[in-house]
Amino acid sequence: DAKKEDSISTLFAKVFQKPKSFYKEMIENGFRNVCLEKKVPMEKATQLKNKFIDGLFYEEDFTRVYPYGSLASHILGYVNKEMIGTEGLEKVYNKQLTGKDGNYVFERDVLGRVISVDEKASAPAVPGNNINLTINKTYQKILQEELAKGLEKYGGESAVGIVMNPNDGEILALANMPDYDPANYEIFSADARRNRAITDTYEPGSTFKSIVLSILFDQKLARENELINTEGGKYFIKNVRVFDDHPHENLTVREVLEVSSNIGMTKLSARFQDETLYKYLRDFGFSNPTSVEMPGEAEGILRKPSTYNQLSKAFLSFGYGIAVTPLQIIAAYSALVNGGTLYKPYLVKSITDYKGNVVQENHPTKIRTVISKSTSDIIKDIMVGVVEKGTGIAAQLDNVLVGGKTGTSQKLENGSYTSRKHNSSFVGFFPADNPQIICMILVNAPEVGKYGGLVAAPIFREVS
């Protein structure tokens, strides 16, 4: 019908600003049903829906739009082809984000042609709720860019970065490299879509020393200026060699952390009662999921005190024989520097409906007090020394005093440790006297640099 063709072509040309002939040719050359436009924005679709021309019909095909591309992809997750949230917050809050369908009541003539719509009997669709995040968009962008640059510079299989407010558990940025575009999730591997910050565990190495040392101070089992014999960098315990990369004959307890002495930590760890060490590490959150609002969180591994011996405690004191997630480490470090309180990390600030009414509001959740404020002050001060004159020098910032700790741990390959592959990490905080920002960087198997002080600490500096 030439008249209908003309009406439809005129309408589409007007709405989409294209020549009328463009649509006429499509209709004339088409076979059966012809699709004139796909993925039409809502405002244009509304203009078309209100026009009733016999033969013209539409199909609803909703699309989730991610306007910032891969930004925060591992936090957001994605929806699958059936519009069901499949990863990340999309999965956790699928019901909240899904709206309610509306309906139109049409009146047709005897030939089945639509002649009017009954507005009173029709109901508009109701949009889903809005999830408002704690994420700072600028921090998130910088973190992703610097992790990508770091991987390029140092090599490595993957990298993780987390930025938090240590005083309340708010996650300000969380990123994994490689990342992916949620709008085109199917073209990325499952490996790229994995949120390593919460799903992957690793042995933390020397970043664990700050935590163990804080327990020693809290139990009054060590004094910061007490001298420890560090054996010139080589020490045997049960015929197993423990060595330091930077050998010293003697170190104060403060210096044990500053230069990251394995031998110093080995000797100090012998002072613990097994149950006490275990209880503190549980209190710091290890072997418990943090319960952050994301799917697939690992709980990690912390062996029971009945399995401890002099050797296993020694290895534990410098971060081996335990499995942790990056999020568990930064949450524990937040307690180290905020005065001793473990907070639940969280991503969702509030949930509002489409009219802006608050449906749910989240507040900081204190889990427990782990160490005293005086212990927190001592360990914080020593970690400033790590950055000022120890292994974390590469993390120094020009305009603000930074504290932190480096970590380098050998990776397990086929059941044994290899000196060829490492996890290199750094946890840093600033301003040192009253920390407002804490940042954790982990690079998996860097090819250049190896050590946390040479790989993760410089990435921290660039992010900060």
Q: At what angle do helices 326-337 and 207-218 cross, to 10 degrees?
A: 40
More confident residue, 390 or 340: 340
More confident residue, 127 or 282: 282
Report the range of poorest mean pLDDT among 22-36, 167-181, 340-354, 422-436.
22-36
Q: What is the mean pLDDT of residues 251-277?
A: 97
- pLDDT at position 447: 87
For residue 65, what pLDDT band results from cuts at 50, 70 and 90? confident
In sequence order, the 6+-apart residues with CB closer than 8 A to the CB of 78 are 64, 66, 85, 86, 87, 88, 90, 182, 183, 185
Nearest to 450 by CA among 245, 218, 166: 245
- pLDDT at position 224: 95
Q: What is the mean pLDDT of residues 210-232?
A: 97
- pLDDT at position 377: 98
Q: Which residue's structure tokens are 């920002």?
A: 437
In sequence order, the 6+-apart residues with CB closer than 8 A to the CB of 419 are 410
- The residue type at 185: Y
Look up 189 and say whether it is catalytic: no
Distance separating alpha carbons of residues 79 and 57, to the nearest angstrom: 26
Residues 94 and 82: beta-carbon distance below 8 Å? no
Residues 303 and 321: beta-carbon distance below 8 Å? yes
The string of pLDDT tens digits covering residues 73-112 is 999 999 998 889 999 999 999 999 987 777 666 666 666 6
Q: Locate 436 and state its tokens.
A: 């407002």
The string of pLDDT tens digits covering residues 393-434 is 999 999 999 999 999 888 777 777 777 788 999 999 999 999
Burial annotation 148-172 (CB, 10 A radius, 16+ → b, else e): bebbebbebebbbbbbbbbbbbbbb
Distance separating alpha carbons of residues 156 and 150, to the nearest angstrom: 9
The catalytic position among 9, 70, 73, 206 is: 206
DSSP, res 170: B
For residue 31, what pLDDT band results from cuts at 50, 70 and 90? confident
Asked if omega into 178 is within 30° of 0 (cis), the reply is yes
Report the range of poorest mean pLDDT among 13-17, 65-69, 199-203, 412-416.
412-416
Average pLDDT over the chain, rounded to whole? 91
Report the range of poorest mean pLDDT among 1-5, 72-76, 116-120, 269-273.
116-120
Distance separating alpha carbons of residues 436 and 337, to the nearest angstrom: 10
51, 56, 59, 64 alpha-carbon torsion, rounded to 10°: -50
Residues 436 and 165: beta-carbon distance below 8 Å? yes
Distance separating alpha carbons of residues 409 and 24, to the nearest angstrom: 67
Distance separating alpha carbons of residues 73 and 231, to the nearest angstrom: 49
- pLDDT at position 452: 79
Q: What percent of the chain has pLDDT over 70?
A: 94
In sequence order, the 6+-apart residues with CB closer than 8 A to the CB of 222 are 213, 216, 253, 268, 271
Q: What is the mean pLDDT of residues 275-282?
A: 98
- pLDDT at position 7: 86
DSSP, res 296: T
List the Cα angle 244/160/373 in 5-degree steps: 65
Nearest to 131 by CA among 365, 364, 358, 363: 358
For residue 113, what pLDDT band results from cuts at 50, 70 and 90? low
Q: How many CA atoms lie within 13 A of 337 on its CB side?
A: 34
Distance separating alpha carbons of residues 330 and 163, to the nearest angstrom: 8
Report the run of H or E that residue 419 belongs to, with start and end. strand 416-430
Q: Is the pTM value of this prediction over 0.95?
A: no
